[in-house]
Amino acid sequence: MSVYRIEGGRRLEGRLTVRGAKNASLKLMAAALMAEGPTVLEAVPRITDIETMISVLQALGAQCHWLSDHVLEIDPRGLNRWEPPDRLVRRMRASVQVMGPLLAKMGRVRLTYPGGCSIGARPIDLHLEGLRALGAEVVDEGGYVEARMVQPRDAVIHLDYPSVGATENLICAAALGSGSVRILNAAQEPEVAELGRFLNRMGARVRGAGQGTVEVEGVRRLTGVRHAVIPDRIEAGTYLLAGAITRGQVEVGPVVPAHVEALVARLEAAGCQLAWAGGRGPRRREGSLALEGVEGNPVDWVILRAERRPRPLHVRTQPHPGFPTDLQPQLMAYLSLADGTSLVTETVHTARFNHVDELVRMGASIQVEGRTAVIRGVPGLTGTTVQADDLRAGAGLVLAGLAAEGTTVVEGIEHIRRGYEDLAGRLREAGAAIEEVELEEEPVPAGV
C-alpha cells in the first residue's frame, strides 16, 4: 500500500506549476469522438482519471496515443461501439460524459448507471431529461441507461440545477445534427466554456458556453483539431492553500485569473497577501477587471504570502462563479487553524464531509450540522495516520499534514492520484517534506 508520509511544519517557498485542467481534459477527450479525424490535446495531466478515460475511448474503438509527456492524440475513426464497459463507468463517474458525444455520433449509447459515490448521491436525471428533450428515447432500468436518437428536434431545455456534466453532455449531443437547442440555467464553470471553445474550433456552432444560456445549432460534421487545455483552477487553488496553510510564500501558475477569483477573494479576507506576477490578473486595486490575452484566456502567475493564522471566514460552496466545492476540503483544512470560528456550508454535493473526522483526529475542532461545518480554529494540528476517501478530501488532508506538528501518514492516495500529477513531487519542489512510501499491508487478525 502506498501512502504519503509528511513531516509537517515547513513553510512552503517556491514555484508550483499547474497542469491542464482534469475536468476540461476529460470532456474534450469525450467530445473528440465526434470528429471525423484525429484531435491532439496539449497540456493534458498525467493522472489516473485521464488513463481511465483513455481506456473508455479505446474500448469504444478509438485510438489514443501520448505523442509526448502531456500531448495526447485521439483518433476516433475506429469508433464502433456505443457501450462503455461497466467496470470503467463504475470506476469513474466522468465516463458518463461519453453519452452526449456517442448519441450525436452513433445515434445510440448504453451504459451502466454510475450510481452514488463517496461525496454523496449523484443522479444523472438532468442529463437524461435533456436528452429526451433533444429527441432521444431513453430507457432507464435494471441499472442501465440506454438512449437512442429517434427524432432529433429543436428544443429549449431549462435545467432545474446548473449541472456541469448535464450542460456538457447536452452541448455535445446537440453539436452534431440538425436541431437547434437553447439550454437555460446552464452551468457557467470555466470547463463548460472550454468545451464550447473546443467544439467551435472543430466546426460546431455553440454560443454562450460558460454563461447561463447556451445556444447550439447542430452541424453536419466536426473536424479534429489541435488544442491546448486551460490550466486546472482546482489544482492551482490547492497549491495556493498549501502556501497559505504553511504560512509560506508561493508562486502558482499558470492560471487564468478570472478562474480563481472566488478563492483569491477568500484568501485576501483571511489575511493573505496576493499579487499577480505579470500584472495581467484582475486589477482590483486599480478598479479594472479587464483581461487581455489569447482566446479570452490570459494566463498569469499568482504570488501568495501568508504570515499568520487565518482570520475566520463564512463560505458557501456554489456553482461557478461561487466558491468551488472542489476546494472545500482544502479550505476547511486551512480554516481549522483560523483565529476564530468559521462556517463552511456545502450546497453542491450532498455528503462532502469525508475529511472532517480525519481532520478532527489531527486536532481540528469541527462540528457538522446538516450541510454546514462549524470550525473552531485551533492554534495547531498534530500529525497522525489519516485516510483519504475521495480526491479532494485527500488533498485537504495532505494540506493539513503540511501544517501539522510531527508526522502525518495519508492513506488512500490512489484517490489523490486520480486528479493530481505527482502531488508529492510538486510540493517537495516548494520545500515540503513529503514522500510516497510503500507500506506493508497489516494482516487482518483472524477471527475478527
The residue ranges that bind ligand UD1 (CB under 6 A) are 23, 26, 94, 121-127, 161, 163-166, 187, 325-326, 348-350
Distances from the Cα of 338 to the Cα of 91, 263, 266, 287, angstroms: 36, 16, 13, 30
Residue pointed to by grid coordinates 470506476: 91
Catalytic residues: 117
Beta strands in 130-235 (DSSP E): 136-141, 144-149, 155-158, 180-184, 205-207, 214-217, 226-228
- Assign 123 to helix, strand or coil: coil
Beta strands in 86-221 (DSSP E): 108-112, 136-141, 144-149, 155-158, 180-184, 205-207, 214-217
Q: Supply the DSSP string of 33-93, one letter for each residue.
A: GGSSS-EEEES---SHHHHHHHHHHHHTT-EEEEEETTEEEEEGGG---S---HHHHHH-G
- Assign 239 to helix, strand or coil: helix
Q: Is 163 exposed, middle or buried (0-12, 13-18, 19+ CB in 10 A)?
A: buried
Task: Judge whether 86 and 45 are in contact, CB under 8 Å.
Answer: no
- Sheet of 314-316: strands edge to edge? 314-316, 341-345, 372-376, 365-369
Rg (the chain; Cα; Å): 22
The Cα–Cα gap between 347 and 222 comes to: 37
The region that residue 44 occupies, defined by phi over 0 for left and psi between -120 and 50 for alpha, beta otherwise, is beta
Task: Judge whether 404 and 379 are in contact, CB under 8 Å.
Answer: no
- Cβ-closest residue to ligand UD1? 165
Strands 300-305 and 249-255: antiparallel
Instruction: Note the residue count of the chain.
Output: 448
Task: Judge whether 4 and 410 are in contact, CB under 8 Å.
Answer: yes
